[in-house]
Amino acid sequence: MKKTLTLGVMVALVLAVAVAPPPAWAQKGPIKIGFIAPMTGGAAQVGKDMVNGLMMYLAEHGNQIAGRKVEVIVEDNQGSPAVALTKLRKLVESDKVQVLAGGLFAHVGYALAPKVDEYKVPMLYPVMAADDLTQRKPAKWVVRTGWTSSQPSHPFGEYVAKTLGYKKVATIGMDYAFGYEVIGGFQKTFEEHGGQIIQKLWAPIGTTDFAPYLSQVRKDADAVFALMVAVSSLRFPKQYEDSGLKAKIPLIGGGTTFDEFVLPSLGDEAIGGMSPLIYSAAIDTPINKKFVKDYRAKYGKVPSYYSETCYTAGRWIDEAAKAINGDLENREKFLAALRKVEIPDAPRGPIKLDSHGNPVQNIYIRKVEKKDGELWNTVLKVYPNVSQFWTYKPDQYMKDPVYSRDVPPCKHC
């Protein structure tokens, strides 16, 4: 009797499993990822690198996430906040995407965040580095998987003062939030370690003629710190050399000034340029070497930081989706899962979010060198597990205003 009952129960269970309906999400079709990037204009190459990174991750995994097919809808925001908002609306209201990602400029990131919170659709920021989005003005539905603008600058300011021994630095930066935050972070730690910022010059975003700015550079500077993005990164190093400054004053800068997206388009004028960033294609680990090899085979060039962060964003979405069995339609549950993701073996190194939602990760001090006829960002030093707050206490740090055109003030100008 006991055996019969057991068998009956087993049969009932088998039948129950056989007729059980599939999970609700399985009837809702593919996962739709809305990806916003500048695909035209001066930042088009950056946008292409971003899309390539995401698509490569998905291709490696059969274009599936958590067992569901994936559809990526790419929208060109032209690097404009207004256009980005229009494309965001289209992706959410018309395309019904379950998750958003992408974006480039910091001011675009600031513009999108309130609308993302209004729509309550998770959006990953693998590139948009606006400091305050994980500091004084956090956005609930934005998940930063990249970095804050000032994060690499904090250790670099210390490195330039203590290791390079520079005492006086002049800066030239893009005149918008990203420029202010990158240069502000550098200025804070450089001056705390005995250095002086003796000049701050600002050029409009998209500038391609730097002659009016280079002619103003103070000749008593030990180095020039330049923060360039997009098309400006293509033009600045050559103009710096042609002005005669490179032979007299070393050029250092923010990570995007010498990123791998631009190196193939530069010549010997870039050699010697130093910068900090969360990634270098020259990171000497098996994981990154495979990533670089596979990316080069697929796209004919080494990956840029934009490629790596969007490749890793694909994995981030995948890890979170698996944790909730693919139920991305439950937005709150998916958002919570995104915030719990830790990646110990990304091409850039280990990543986990701090309590404010920003990655804690390695910062690499890099120097442009030529190897076998190709420019590389050789890694000089690694600062492990760097927080967006550097060595400061978060509450104390956020009592100060976000870095801006006038913060920190230029006391030595």
pLDDT-based confidence at residue 9 (cuts at 50, 70, 90): very low
pLDDT digits (tens, 9 = 90+) for 127-137: 999 999 999 99
Average pLDDT over residues 200-222: 97
pLDDT value, residue 199: 98
Other CB atoms within 10 A of residue 352 CB = 13
**pLDDT-above-70 percentage for the chain:** 93
Average pLDDT, integer, range 221-231: 97
Ordered structural domains, the chain, with CATH: 29-148+285-361 (3.40.50.2300), 153-283+362-397 (3.40.50.2300)
* Distance in Å from the first CA to the final CA of the chain: 94
Burial 226-263 (b: 16+ CB within 10 A, else e): bbbbbbbbbbbbbbbbebebbeebbbbbbbbbbbbbbb
Antiparallel, parallel or unpaired: β 142-144 and 123-125: parallel
Residue bearing tokens 């103009």: 239
Contacts 24+ apart (CB under 8 A), 338-344: 338/122, 338/124, 338/143, 339/143, 341/316, 343/312, 343/315, 343/316, 343/319
Quote the Cα angle for 259-265-271, to 5°.
65
pLDDT at residue 17 tops 60: no
Contact yes or no for 382/342 (Cβ under 8 A):
no
Structural element, H or E, at residue 295: helix 286-299
- Coil/strand/helix, residue 41: coil
Rounded to whole angstroms, how far apart are CA atoms 364 and 64? 32
What amino acid occupies position 57?
A: Y
- Cβ 154 vs Cβ 188: under 8 Å: yes
Model-wide pTM > 0.85: yes
Nearest CA to 181 out of 130, 113, 256 is that of 130
How many CB atoms lie under 10 A from the CB of residue 346? Answer: 23
Structural tokens at position 37:
């990037």
Question: Going by C-beta distance under 8 Å and a sequence separation of 6 or more, which residues neighbour residue 188?
Answer: 150, 154, 157, 403, 408
| Confidence category of residue 12, pLDDT binned at 50, 70, 90 | very low
Per-residue pLDDT band at 5 (split at 50, 70, 90): very low
CA pair distance 394, 358, nearest whole angstrom: 12
For residue 397, count other CB atoms closer than 10 A to its CB: 16
Q: Does residue 24 register a pLDDT over 70?
A: no
At residue 2, the pLDDT reads: 40
pLDDT category, 216, cuts 50, 70, 90? very high
The string of pLDDT tens digits covering residues 312-344 is 999 999 999 999 999 999 999 999 999 999 999
What are the DSSP calls for 251-262, one per residue? EEE-GGGS-TTT
Q: What is the model's pLDDT at position 261?
A: 93
Encoded tokens for 243? 């002005």
Instruction: List, in order, residues 6 or more apart from 11 with CB less than 8 Å away.
Output: none
